[in-house]
Structure 1
Amino acid sequence: MTEKNAPFHTLDEFDVEYSGGVQYCTQIQPIFDKKAAAIVLVSSDEYAPFASVVVASIIANASTDHQYDIVILTDNMLQRNQWRIQRQADGIENISIRILNISKMIEGFSFFTWAHFTSNTYYRLLTPDVFALYDKVIYLDSDIVVNHDIFELFNEDLKDYYLAAAYDTHVVAYCTQTPPLEQRSYNIKELGMKNPEQYFQAGVSVFNVKAIRRDFEEGYLIKQGLNHKLRWLDQDLLNKLFYGKILRLPNRWNVMVSNQPQNLDEYYLPDMLRQEYFMSRQAPYIVHYVGRSMPCYTTNPDLFEFFWKYARKTDFYEILIQRMAIDYAEKLVESVRIQMRQELGKETIIQRGKRYIWRMINYLLPPGSKRRIYVKRLAFSLKTWN
């Protein structure tokens, strides 16, 4: 067992905390024994405040009877933000927080992305390699909050499944509404899914590292990520590669919210799954603010109370409030600009009348016609005569 408060060394014993350099590593040692809940997040520097909220929520619901080994993978997080997150475990003996710079591991890699997605989403595919010395690891996106003891999720019996995850209720709804959206045929044709409704959300998942490393070569997942261009990126990839080998988790472990809470996709789910989803919303174990629907980035926040409950426990609380104010101001300015453009673009009654008159003139007296030339000369002579 590694001493919890000991300096975190890379494989070449390069210690970032004392050297002031950059910490690189390709594989880590468990900080506790294998009974501890191993948890990995991926975060950019922009998402550091959100990663901190995730960590705060894990700590707030952690049991003193268990140990929690938290690791954050990043390629650009500022040192000061790393310290702010790491000191959340100060004085808590059963919780460890380590932040690992993986920039050397992904150097030169080029991943397919679009819309708001970034290359960071692919970094979860490194989990079986970075955590090779672990049996299983919980992966969490940085846009979630944990509202239950996550050790219970870690304790899930994975049997011989490669992954455990909940259904992606947004995507499933695309497949099950009447008529289904194109997503259904995409799941069949592009992902090879015989049952396209059995599509899983990878933002909260448990990797069976032992089984994956047993059946696949080193670096298999990240290599596949480089070689595929799929709609929902690495999440599609995991559904494609592990189809039939993903253990379904109850929906309460990944309650997805929306930027439009008044028009949830989940209304189109099959009866049983729809009931499960709306029951889970009442007491969610994990809330997932997908698609930048974090309460500080949307004017219609859904299940916002869980986010702010844990955000208040971090050093980033005021930063998140500031971001919310800036985001609101920018959206307000943009709405005013749109309204002004619409108002300036409107025709007055006089302008509309003139347009109709000229349209009639052009119809009766086509430009360049003899009639038009004659009328112009007549009008000029009358003006001159007056």
Structure 2
Amino acid sequence: MLTRLSCTVEEMGLALDDVVILLACNEYFVPYTAVAIQSIVEHMSPDRHYDIVVLTRDLTQRTIDSLVGHLPYPNMSLGFLNPEVALKGTKLPHHGHFRPETFFRLLAPWLLPNVKKAVYLDSDLVALTDVAELFDTDVEGCLLGATRDADTVGMMLGYDGTVGPYLENEIKLTDPMQYFQAGVLVMNLEAFRYAFTVADMLSLSTVRVWRWLDQDILNMLADGNYVRVDMRWNTLMDWKGIRREKIIAQAPEELREQYEAARQDPAIVHYAGPDDRPWDYPDCDMGAYFWDYAKRSAFADVLEERLQQSQTTVAGKLDRAKVSVIFKGIMPLVDKTFPPGTKRRTRLIKGYVAIGGDLG
């Protein structure tokens, strides 16, 4: 195993013959990725071997050494793979809080050409049980396994009237109700290679700016034909107290029940959202899980320093004040004046987008 950023899978020297786990990050985000990795390794089975591959373009050697040196586990290996061999300089369009690294999962089938299956995990999550159980999901005959997205379905059914037409008319889903959340995936890499090419992925990634970027692309490609994974494997935090009471509350009863059941017994907690993340707001929903692993992770000191800066510096206080005004003042007023499910709410959102507003 080479402990440096590799250009090819051969250079990494990983076995890649049992549990393969993929993450993607950049140099700034790596402390949060380190927490995800810490949570994974603390639940590994001694009877399995785990290869964790980080897809990245800019990790420094010092960062790589810190990650590898912090994880001396005999039944796991850590590798770092540069996706530029597949990107070939392609500029990946993104917006809002999203980063280009989110597209790297689309390239995984060709970056790991001899690997049949892998679990892909976003870096803003923690695992509370053995990810090998998720890896063992049978995805034969499908591109992937994923959890239905109660959040997006709730938006479509009342909270945001622009979502349904977008999923139906622009992504062209046969049944938008089957839209899935792509932060946790069991990817059938072999099936992707059979059906598509790298050129297909890059073309779809750059043809326009998608609302939820590569997640929309994956939903378009699967079009509802995917293995339904229990929602406990991708338990979304109750972002700002809005997701649970105002958005998922609009979803069908079966999805609401699945979400509530997942919250009672989460296998993976996913801190999806543009802000209110545990590294800045430790008291956010299910934030205690994050800090439990963070204090034992490779960059615990960096996380503590960033938290302090967000709480005490002028810039950090201003950002918190801005977020507070938006979510405690403006949004409740909008909900009261433009209630979910009304046409005037949909017109408001369309107008907001027309003047450059970001709905990511």
Measured against the shorter chain, the TM-score band is 0.7 to 0.9
1:280 to 2:265 alignment: no
> Structure 1 residues 160 and 104 mapped into 2: Cα distance closer, same or farther (>3 Å)?
closer
Aligned to 1:325: 308
Aligned to 1:230: 210
Aligned to 2:15: 32
Q: Is the 8 A contact 1:165 1:201 kept in 2?
A: yes
Aligned to 1:74: 56
Shift of 1:168: 2.0
Aligned to 2:241: 261
> Structure 1 residues 311 and 224 mapped into 2: Cα distance closer, same or farther (>3 Å)?
same
> Structure 1 residues 7 and 298 mapped into 2: Cα distance closer, same or farther (>3 Å)?
closer
1:144 to 2:125 alignment: yes
Higher mean alpha-carbon deviation, 307-316 vs 231-240, is at 307-316
Aligned to 2:227: 247
**Higher percent of residues as helix:** 2
| Structure 1 counterpart of 2:306, one-letter code | R
Q: Is the 8 A contact 2:179 2:224 kept in 1?
A: no
Alignment gaps of 5+ in structure 1: 1-5, 9-15, 17-21, 340-386
Q: Is the 8 A contact 1:27 1:129 kept in 2?
A: no
What is the alpha-carbon distance in structure 1 between the residues aligned to residue 147 and residue 300 of structure 2? 29
> Structure 1 residues 28 and 233 mapped into 2: Cα distance closer, same or farther (>3 Å)?
farther
What is the alpha-carbon distance in structure 2 between the residues aligned to residue 26 and residue 163 of structure 1? 22
Aligned to 1:53: 35
| Structure 2 counterpart of 1:138, one-letter code | V
Shift of 1:244: 2.9
Shift of 1:319: 1.2
- Deviations along 1:118-144, one digit per CA (max 9) or x if unpaired, are 211111111100111111011111101
Q: Is the 8 A contact 1:27 1:130 kept in 2?
A: no
Aligned to 1:307: 290
> Structure 1 residues 338 and 210 mapped into 2: Cα distance closer, same or farther (>3 Å)?
closer
What is the alpha-carbon distance in structure 1 between the residues aligned to residue 82 and residue 262 of structure 2? 35
Shift of 1:303: 0.3
Higher mean alpha-carbon deviation, 181-190 vs 326-335, is at 326-335
SS of alignment partner, residue 79 of structure 2: strand
What is the alpha-carbon distance in structure 1 between the residues aligned to residue 11 and residue 177 of structure 2? 37
| Structure 1 counterpart of 2:2, one-letter code | P
| Structure 2 counterpart of 1:290, one-letter code | A
> Structure 1 residues 241 and 33 mapped into 2: Cα distance closer, same or farther (>3 Å)?
closer
SS of alignment partner, residue 126 of structure 2: strand
Shift of 1:312: 1.4
Shift of 1:180: 5.7
What is the alpha-carbon distance in structure 1 between the residues aligned to residue 196 and residue 317 of structure 2? 51
Aligned CA-pair RMSD: 2.4
Q: Is the 8 A contact 1:39 1:137 kept in 2?
A: yes
Percent identity of equivalent pairs: 29
Shift of 1:295: 0.7
Aligned to 1:316: 299
SS of alignment partner, residue 260 of structure 1: helix
Aligned to 2:334: none
Alignment of 1:1-386 (within 5 A): 6-7=1-2, 16=4, 23-25=6-8, 31-32=14-15, 34=17, 36-90=18-72, 92-177=73-158, 181-261=161-241, 264=244, 265-291=247-273, 292-298=275-281, 301-329=284-312, 330-333=315-318
Q: Is the 8 A contact 1:163 1:247 kept in 2?
A: yes
What is the alpha-carbon distance in structure 2 between the residues aligned to residue 68 and residue 338 of structure 1? 39
Query: Which gives a bigger RCO, structure 1 or 2 (Cα 8 Å, sep 6+)?
Result: 2
> Structure 1 residues 33 and 116 mapped into 2: Cα distance closer, same or farther (>3 Å)?
closer
> Structure 1 residues 252 and 25 mapped into 2: Cα distance closer, same or farther (>3 Å)?
same
SS of alignment partner, residue 176 of structure 2: coil
SS of alignment partner, residue 70 of structure 2: helix
Q: Is the 8 A contact 1:28 1:133 kept in 2?
A: no
SS of alignment partner, residue 82 of structure 1: helix
Aligned positions, number: 319
| Structure 2 counterpart of 1:55, one-letter code | I
| Structure 1 counterpart of 2:141, one-letter code | D
Q: Is the 8 A contact 2:152 2:179 kept in 1?
A: yes
Higher mean alpha-carbon deviation, 252-261 vs 291-300, is at 291-300
Shift of 1:333: 4.2
What is the alpha-carbon distance in structure 2 between the residues aligned to residue 279 and residue 122 of structure 1? 30
| Structure 2 counterpart of 1:193, one-letter code | L
SS of alignment partner, residue 134 of structure 1: coil
SS of alignment partner, residue 197 of structure 1: helix
What is the alpha-carbon distance in structure 2 between the residues aligned to residue 267 and residue 237 of structure 1? 26
| Structure 2 counterpart of 1:121, one-letter code | T
Alignment gaps of 5+ in structure 2: 325-360
Shift of 1:107: 4.3
